[in-house]
Structure 1
Amino acid sequence: MANHTPIVAFLYDFDKTLCTTDMEDYAFIPSLGMTPAEFWAKANHFGRTNRVDGILAYMYTMLRESAARKLPFTRADLVEMGRGIVLFPGVEDWFQRINAFGRSQGVTVEHYVISSGLREIIEGSAISGAFKEIYASEFYYDETGAPVWPKLTVNFTAKTQFVYRINKGVLDVSDDKTLNDSMPDDSKRVPFTNMVYIGDGLSDVPCMKMMRSYGGQAIAVYQESNRSGVEDLLAKGRVDFIFPADYSQGTALEAAVQDIIRKMAVCDRLFERNVSQLRSIGGDVLPNQVGLF
């Protein structure tokens, strides 16, 4: 294997992980004259009554409630609404700081969103440019900019698909063939061992379990309102670490992430050294040696 710069990928949920509540609560739901409690009760009731996937149910409820009030929205409207998102402390400069620390350790850091919220709203946020890719639910829009169909839905278990896409470097959601092609472990773009998933609760458990099963790291962040639930995730071995949702410089969260990057950088160097020595004596790299460290 040729010398390369290792990639460390950070995968984030968005709602209550990077911002303080569900992204629709900031501007979209108030624009309907509804409270978040009223909107989500309607969406959840519709989903349960009709046995509709929860993400499709809330997207349909957005369309139905907007039409009922003669308040149609466009893609541009949702992007604009994203400007009202309230981020946790330190989030806005978090990515720049972590990228710089990664460079100091000889690795390239990439950031991804995997969210059940709306891509359009995320794109309007102050941090949208920090991500290599945003995987989130999204509408398809007609030539007038009106939403007419779900383009992508990301429910809790579907989130794991995007972990595999990042692992293989197959980021285009329309490319299923390459995603499902067989690929040797040592040729995958971002090994699972170089991944960190950051979320806030039960909806993130499938991705967190993947991290812990395949050698990555899982972190849960919390506000006081969901602290007990996050502590339960730690007690049950579903996450590696929990921290308050404060991304500011000098926090325990930042210190832990820096240690994780150090560890991943060292493990990659050891692996490269092992491979170099094997090849110098004519040996082969076996599949079970990938991620050995």
Structure 2
Amino acid sequence: MATTLFTQNTIACIWDFDKTLIPEYMQAPLFRRYGIDEGTFWEETNKLAEHYRRRGYHLSPEIAYLNHLLTYVLAGPLAGLNNKILFECGSDIKFYPGLPEFFGRAKAFALEKPEYVKHEISVEHYIVSTGIAPMIRGSAIAQHVDGIWACEFVENPLQPGFLQQKELSLEASAEIAQIGMVIDNTTKTRAIFEINKGTNRNSAIDVNSKMAAEDRRIPIQNMIYIADGPSDVPSFSVVKKGGGRAYAVYNPDKLAEFEQNDRLLQSGRIDAYGPADYQPGSSTAQWLRLHIHQICDRIVADRELAVASKASKPPRHLNTAPDESAAAKKAPKQETFLE
């Protein structure tokens, strides 16, 4: 008998990282550790594509900073950098007010009404970032998330002929040398569809596989995408067009970020925006609670409608007793005396 793959009673909050969960770029603790001027690094990164173009090379801007980090490793300023150090630097990442505690509170929003509990609705958190995965895994928020998509580095890459070697040497002095995974502002949408189809939970499901809407683990209409600006427009669009919610945040201390989010709202890219403040009572925390509840309400309504439409009423015993109304009609009329 055919059956659906998933119950579709899960809500996904999908988060950007830099400038969404934290006020600075996540690489800042790394640069401080090595004494590198952060402003100089990003200025160089932003100008790489143009300089390489003049030399006849085409450089993807999205991976420019990853390549430049590797250049810093080779050239010496970041010599010895490995994934363990990146993980350790993650512990120095500072979050916006209310984090990481808000992630736990958001999961509890799906337990606030009996009908939500009855239908076993749950909230999951995913981070989809152009940043560095080991740093996110080493941060205070890692234990509160259900999945992380971000860039990865490879240490001590395999050498030519490694397939013919029976035993591969393990070098004690590991150092990042290659890019292992790239997440950019366009491929973030792939992560959204992996969450949508359940690829992250069932490796037998390929993200490019054709799947009926009812077989997908988390329908896009069950998603809320939270990010900070125009670079996330592709992801905002995918979620919004699929019936989900798109919410932008800004640093309350930076007027330009507020204006940027307002332009996104005016152009229809997002549903709403608010300050990157996740403390109880903040407008952002209240908006997210409200819309998680609205999604919960729709899930409840859809599931109860499905039960009503698919479950037929059971047969009942026929009433064999004499018709009381008929008997009453045949009974002699009695007078009533009032005293």
Residue-by-residue CA offset, 1:177-210 (whole Å, 9 max, x unaligned): 6211111101111011110000000111111111
Check the 8 A contact 1:5/1:108 in 2, yes or no.
no
5+ unaligned residues in a row in structure 2: which ranges? 157-169, 313-339
Corresponding residue for 2:282? 251
Corresponding residue for 1:17? 20
Larger-gyration structure (1/2): 2
Corresponding residue for 1:167? 196
Corresponding residue for 2:108? 100
Structure 1 residue runs of 4 or more that deviate by more than 6 Å after TM superposition: none
5+ unaligned residues in a row in structure 1: which ranges? 282-293
Check the 8 A contact 1:29/1:35 in 2, yes or no.
yes
**Aligned equivalents of 1:113, 1:181: Cα separation in 2:** 23
Correspondence for 1:74 among 82, 88, 102: 82
Corresponding residue for 1:207? 235
**Aligned equivalents of 1:51, 1:5: Cα separation in 2:** 43
Look up the equivalent residue of 1:82 and give its one-letter code: G
Task: Give yes or no for the alignment of 1:147 onto 2:176.
Answer: yes
Task: Give yes or no for the alignment of 1:62 onto 2:69.
Answer: yes
Identity of aligned residues (%): 28
Check the 8 A contact 2:236/2:269 in 1, yes or no.
yes
Aligned-pair distance for 1:30? 2.9
Look up the equivalent residue of 1:227 and give its one-letter code: F
Change in 2 beyond 3 A, CA 1:275/1:239: same
Aligned-pair distance for 1:85? 0.7
Check the 8 A contact 1:32/1:66 in 2, yes or no.
no
Corresponding residue for 1:229? 260
**Aligned equivalents of 1:33, 1:254: Cα separation in 2:** 36
TM-score by length of 2: 0.77
Aligned-pair distance for 1:124? 1.2
**Aligned equivalents of 2:63, 2:8: Cα separation in 1:** 40
TM-score by length of 1: 0.89
| Other structure's SS at 1:257 match | helix
Check the 8 A contact 1:32/1:65 in 2, yes or no.
no
How do residues 167-206 of structure 1 correspond to structure 2 at under 5 angstroms?
167-171=196-200, 178-206=206-234
CA RMSD of aligned residues (A): 2.2
**Aligned equivalents of 2:293, 2:261: Cα separation in 1:** 25
Check the 8 A contact 1:14/1:113 in 2, yes or no.
yes
